[in-house]
Amino acid sequence: EMFDHAYNSYMDYAYPADELMPLSCRGRVRGLEPNRGDIDDSLGKFSLTLIDTLDTLVLLNKLDEFEEAVKKTVRDVRFDNDIVVSVFETNIRVLGGLLGAHVMADVLKQRGERMQWYRDELLHMAKELGYRLLPAFNTTSGLPYPRVNLRYGVVNPLSRTGTESDTCTACAGTTILEFAALSRLSGDPIFEEHARKAMDVLWEKRQRGSDLVGTVINIHNGDWVRRDSGVGAGIDSYYEYLMKAYILLGDKVYLNRFNTHYSAIMKYISQPPLLLNVHMHNPTINVRSWMDSLLAFFPGLQVLRGDLKPAIETHEMLYQVTKQHNFLPEAFTTEFRVHWGQHPLRPEFAESTYFLYKATGDPYYLNVGQSIVEKLNTHARVPCGFAAVQDVRTGTHEDRMDSFFLAEMFKYLYLLFSEKSQLPINIDDYIFTTEAHLLPVSLSTTQPPCHTNNTEPQAHEDDLFSYSCPSAQTLFPNNPTFAKTIRDSYKYLTGVGRAQQLKLVAEVSQTPEHEEVVPLIVQLISPPFLGRTVLTAGSAKFGMDLTKQEVSPIRHVETACLLPKLGACRKSTVTLEGSSSAETPLFQMVGDGEPTNDITVPLVFLFSKEGATLTATLQEHHNVDVLLLPKEKQLGKEKPEKLNIKFRLAKEGDFAEGETESTTIQLVLEQSETDTETNNEAASLMRENQETRSSPQKDPESSP
């Protein structure tokens, strides 16, 4: 029913557009809506959501709808578009979607019940798209460009791309499943050859001391641009595709590489239940204190590896975070507070939940799945589909329903609650791509492994599951509660559900127990503003600390794009369209993993609306003098009086010097007879312990 609501909303309000805008009840057409930056590189005017959803229709037994959707795809979708798209996203969503749908169409046709008209049209479309992606691989290293023009390629003067020098590790290392499947289904080896070459380069460029890879790499010379290493955004599906390439293609080279990387991950990155980014050259150093939500796929990959204990631990940590915030925030700290509040309906947590249930058979994971379903219906469902959550702290929605929500979320949830007999295919005959498209493992028998693609043996120890999938009977022989014993250690990790304790403290501290974002302001003080225009701003974790240093008025305000001459600009900025400090919680700008000691200028962050105000002011007045300072120090504003509150234990009516009944609030703690007896016993026991203790007595006033 949930899938029907989402899919029918797309077909009714958005098709043939790439995506549905569920709040506006219309389609998102690239070029007609405000530019969202890199996010829009997924959109190629090729009915993205329809293609991404095709094999989901089969899995959910919607075979009539599938046949109709295939006919629409063949009739309406064209790839000869003058548009620049992400190679990574187009590969996993569109090429993968076409291949998965072709495989499903072929299965249904062979059964003789439907799709008798089908003549491999989807495979021909996939091959055409594959050829349109190939120009991206025309680099000296073999690593692909991050973007390609579907009509003009990369080097053509009309392509409007090809100037990039960097790509992410996952972007370069997440083509082997789709490209190899395309080669083996079509008979053209060129696709698999290019994907293998990119995987070979990433393997060769790993840090030999740690066996880790970085996050961003130069596509021309293979040098690492960002050396932070983790299992989340930027790297995630590279590791996934090494493991799954072995399963799909039967090539042991990929398994050897995966096992080598996996040993390094468990040695350096895995700090149960956390998965923390480290420096690839010095992996004993954590490079940041937060995690991103994309790493939620990793427990599912660990299930395929057979390493269930850390999978259970990390999954339970993630579940506790969802209990606290309803969904996984895009990023959260090691103390499980929100770092980035967005949640674009990502499916990775549901994916890992499904794999853990299949591995353990533990009904606990059905309950986890039920909580996902309920929270989606309660907090994301809108009249025209499901809307992404702009901030999990406020529950505000974003006018966005990504295609992966239909491609992945409903597959994993439906499979979680279904029996094998209820499915139209034998799910064990297929491997999931990173976009949850279904490719048959029988492809491994259609072509022998590539003999030139060798990996030297690595000096890591094989274990019981280095070359096999997990067996619950082997892992938990006659002990079905084993998974529960692992989970129980992390049951109250985030504090949710734990019995609260009353603490009396000697004095209320002015320093909160966790770091807060101090509101800053940009106050325009030159005529004609004279301090009356005040823009609320967020702070930065680098540059001058404006809460501790006074800053003289700044002239000639520079916008972010002009900052390189100050040595303070990073390579990318994120614009939150339509955001404002009144509607969106403040957050701090953080570094990108590189040292920030060289940044000494004062920096603040303005949301979209405040930034537009400042930009318009600069355009009108050219030179503007501003003050950057904490909000509480705003010029022309009275400072509020502070109220200091102290707590102390005393007998009722016992006032200290300077205290009177009119200025004192008394909290009377009453004891029952049972409490009195218990306290008397405790006091007696304490006296006995103190008499036998040889160490000096503590000052009674400093005791708890």
For residue 415, is it within any domain?
yes
Taking the alpha carbons of 476, 478, 482, 484 in that order, is the dihedral positive or negative? Answer: positive
pLDDT computed for residue 569 by the predictor: 35
Task: Render pLDDT for 569-584 as a digit per residue (tens, 0 to 9).
Answer: 333 334 456 677 777 7
Catalytic positions, please? 89, 236, 330, 348
pTM listed for this prediction: 0.71
Chain centroid offset of residue 487 CA: 23
Contact 604, 539 (CB under 8 A): yes
Would you say residue 351 has pLDDT above 50? Answer: yes
For residue 311, is it within any domain?
yes
CA distances from 31 to 43, 82, 83, 147, 398 (A): 10, 12, 10, 17, 19
Of 360, 341, 366, nearest to 299 (Cα)?
A: 360
Range of the domain at 262: 1-489
pLDDT-derived band at 234, boundaries 50, 70, 90: very high
Would you say residue 555 has pLDDT above 80? Answer: no
Would you say residue 356 has pLDDT above 80? Answer: yes
| Number of compact structural domains in the chain | 1
What six digits make up the tokens of 626? 């501003």
First and final CA of the chain: distance in angstroms? 56
Distance CA 134, CA 188 (A): 13
**What share of the chain in percent tops pLDDT 70?**
76
The residue-averaged pLDDT of 27-41 equals 95
pLDDT computed for residue 658 by the predictor: 66
pLDDT computed for residue 514 by the predictor: 44
pLDDT-derived band at 695, boundaries 50, 70, 90: very low
Q: pLDDT higher for 567 or 54?
A: 54
Q: Is 570 exposed, middle or buried (0-12, 13-18, 19+ CB in 10 A)?
A: middle
Distance CA 5, CA 333 (A): 34
The residue-averaged pLDDT of 639-666 equals 67
The residue-averaged pLDDT of 352-371 equals 95
pLDDT computed for residue 463 by the predictor: 61
pLDDT computed for residue 548 by the predictor: 66
For residue 417, is it within any domain?
yes
Q: What is the CATH number of the domain that holds 326?
A: 1.50.10.10
pLDDT-derived band at 163, boundaries 50, 70, 90: very high
Q: pLDDT higher for 175 or 592?
A: 175
pLDDT computed for residue 605 by the predictor: 79
Task: Render pLDDT for 257-267 as a digit per residue (tens, 0 to 9).
Answer: 999 999 999 99
pLDDT computed for residue 165 by the predictor: 95
For residue 617, is it within any domain?
no
Annotated binding-site members for Ca(2+): 434
For residue 259, is it within any domain?
yes
- Give the range among 73-82, 96-105, 413-422, 592-601 with minimum mean pLDDT: 592-601
pLDDT computed for residue 563 by the predictor: 38
What six digits make up the tokens of 312? 């259970």
Of 83, 20, 84, 86, nearest to 47 (Cα)?
A: 20
pLDDT-derived band at 241, boundaries 50, 70, 90: very high
The residue-averaged pLDDT of 235-252 equals 96
pLDDT computed for residue 512 by the predictor: 39
Chain centroid offset of residue 414 CA: 22
Would you say residue 597 has pLDDT above 60? Answer: yes
pLDDT computed for residue 618 by the predictor: 80
Task: Render pLDDT for 444-463 as a digit per residue (tens, 0 to 9).
Answer: 887 655 555 544 545 455 66
Task: Render pLDDT for 487-537 as a digit per residue (tens, 0 to 9).
Answer: 988 877 776 654 433 333 333 333 333 456 678 888 887 788 777 888 888
The residue-averaged pLDDT of 317-346 equals 96
Dihedral angle at the C-alpha atoms of 192, 193, 196, 200, nearest 10 degrees?
A: 180
Beta-bridge partners for 291:
332
For residue 195, is it within any domain?
yes
Would you say residue 561 has pLDDT above 50? Answer: no
Task: Render pLDDT for 196-230 as a digit per residue (tens, 0 to 9).
Answer: 999 999 999 999 999 999 999 999 999 999 999 99
Contact 383, 25 (CB under 8 A): yes
Q: What is the DSSP letter of 60?
A: T
Helix, strand or coil for residue 585? coil
- Give the range among 40-54, 100-114, 515-529, 589-603 with minimum mean pLDDT: 589-603
pLDDT-derived band at 612, boundaries 50, 70, 90: confident
pLDDT computed for residue 702 by the predictor: 38
- Mean per-residue pLDDT of the chain: 84
pLDDT computed for residue 542 by the predictor: 72
For residue 384, is it within any domain?
yes
pLDDT-derived band at 324, boundaries 50, 70, 90: very high
pLDDT computed for residue 587 by the predictor: 67
Task: Render pLDDT for 254-305 as a digit per residue (tens, 0 to 9).
Answer: 999 999 999 999 999 999 999 999 999 999 999 999 999 999 999 999 999 9
Q: Is 214 exposed, middle or buried (0-12, 13-18, 19+ CB in 10 A)?
A: buried
The residue-averaged pLDDT of 123-151 equals 98
For residue 58, is it within any domain?
yes
